[in-house]
Structure 1
């Protein structure tokens, strides 16, 4: 894991950065939450694109009738 402040390597599960001495426990949980939200956002974007593609295909079929 990297310190979100000084970017030095820290031990997994560390509460304080050994290099800069800053508290990294809270930022680590926020980073994990952010990563989870980014994954969910990407999944929603993919789902939205599939829905758009499907709607477009339906509209094309209706126009070709």
Structure 2
């Protein structure tokens, strides 16, 4: 595992960086929360893309009248 602070390599199970002594462990609950937020972000991006396409279609219909 690479330390996000000093970029030194550590063993995968390390809780603290061997070089800079900073905490590098990420609790499983935070990883799960991050994954959930990424999934929600992707869903919102898809929804926004669809809404933009719908607005564009409405604007195109209005212009063609």
Residues 6 and 39 of structure 1, relative CA distance in 2, 3 Å threshold: farther
Instruction: Provide the alpha-carbon RMSD of the alignment.
Output: 3.1
TM-score by length of 1: 0.56
CA apart distance, 1:20: 1.8
- Structure 2: runs of 5 or more not aligned: none
More helix by share: 1
Which stretches of structure 1, 4 residues or longer, exceed 4 Å deviation after superposition? none
Residue 53 of structure 2 corresponds to residue 49 of structure 1 = no
- Structure 1: runs of 5 or more not aligned: none
Q: Deviations over 1:21-52 (max 9, x none)?
A: 22222xx34974685335643x1234312211
User: Number of residues paired by the alignment?
Assistant: 62
Q: Give the aligned partner of residue 9 of structure 2.
A: 9
